[in-house]
Chains A and B, each alone.
Chain A
Amino acid sequence: MSFAFYLIVALTLAGGLAAVLLRNTVHCALALTVAFAGLALLFLGLDAQFAGFAQILVYIGAVAILVVFAILLTRSSEAEQEGVFSKSWLVGLVIAAGVFAVLGWAVLASARALPWQAAAPIVTVRDIGNVLVGRYVLPLEIVALLLTAATIGAVIVALHEKERTR
């Protein structure tokens, strides 16, 4: 593993930790953007250029902006008096640590059986497009329908209800 890999991993994990731990919600959203960017770099390092740029477009371009909009619309950025963590934060922390212990143990116990070297796959965007409209055309159509339904649903759910006391 190269120095760049450790640098990107440190950036990603620091971004994720800051997104979870910071007090100010807007700072959390910005740290989340850093974590998304680090993940996109990891995808690029894994020779998955298309997924990396899709990650940048969708997550940094859309999801992070949506989160910032939601924070501003709900005035969550104002300082909270009673602390930002839930009352049962210790239970959540223990569960997360347990999950990481199990996952880490599984990876380390099977590290010997994992493949060591693999030639970098040569995948062009043309190949991805051919597969998308060939073998995976039904999932593609379903995702298109899902995105349409989700967009309309999000607008309807968030619509201002004017006649509340009808």
Chain B
Amino acid sequence: MVVASPLAAYLLVAALLFAIGLAGALTRRNAILVLIGIELMLNAANLNFIAFWRYGPHPEALTGMMFAIFSIAVAAAEAAVGLGLVISIYRHARTTDLDQMNRMKG
């Protein structure tokens, strides 16, 4: 492998995972699958935080670790609200297909 630095390897993995999540969020029709893509992107960002914390100059300050932990908590709240919204929209429009959700009212 060209990349010898372990931090660069982790960053590349995170970039690839972010791109996979972005592709999923942009190409899927199902709203739940779009949320899954967003979760993958959030996780890739968390991997970046942890990798920079591990190889950064001051790991004992715990900055990156704290950011990742708070990010996990916020992502849990986001998933709960997002899936609640999807269920509510499904009740209203009887579909989770985003291509059919093209009206602002009713």
Name the residue of chain B whose CB is nearest to the CB of A63.
B79
Known A-B contacts A48-B65, A85-B28; the reply to A154 vs B84 at CB < 8 A is: yes
B104 at the interface (CB under 8 A from A): no
Chain A hits for B30, CB < 8 A: 25, 76, 80, 84
Expressed in whole angstroms, the Cα–Cα distance for A99 and B22 within the complex equals 9
Nearest 9 Cβ contacts at the A-B interface? A92-B26, A20-B24, A100-B19, A150-B77, A121-B59, A96-B23, A154-B84, A103-B15, A158-B84
A69 & B83 in contact (Cβ 8 Å cutoff) = yes
A51 at the interface (CB under 8 A from B): yes
Within 8 A of B (CB), among A106-140: 107-108, 111, 114-116, 118, 121, 123, 127-128, 131-132, 136, 139
Residues of chain B at interface, number, CB under 8 A? 76
Within 8 A of B (CB), among A36-92: 36, 39, 42-43, 46-48, 50-51, 54-55, 58-59, 62-63, 66-67, 69-71, 73-74, 76, 80, 83-89, 91-92
Measuring CB to CB, which residues of chain B are less than 8 angstroms from any residue of chain A? 1-13, 15-30, 32-33, 35-37, 39-40, 43, 46-47, 50-51, 53-57, 59-60, 62, 65-66, 68-70, 72-81, 83-88, 90-91, 96-99
Chain B hits for A121, CB < 8 A: 54, 59-60
Expressed in whole angstroms, the Cα–Cα distance for A80 and B95 within the complex equals 11
B26 & A12 in contact (Cβ 8 Å cutoff) = no
A7 at the interface (CB under 8 A from B): no
Chain A hits for B65, CB < 8 A: 48, 50-51, 123, 128
Name the residue of chain B whose CB is nearest to the CB of A122.
B60
Expressed in whole angstroms, the Cα–Cα distance for A116 and B54 within the complex equals 11
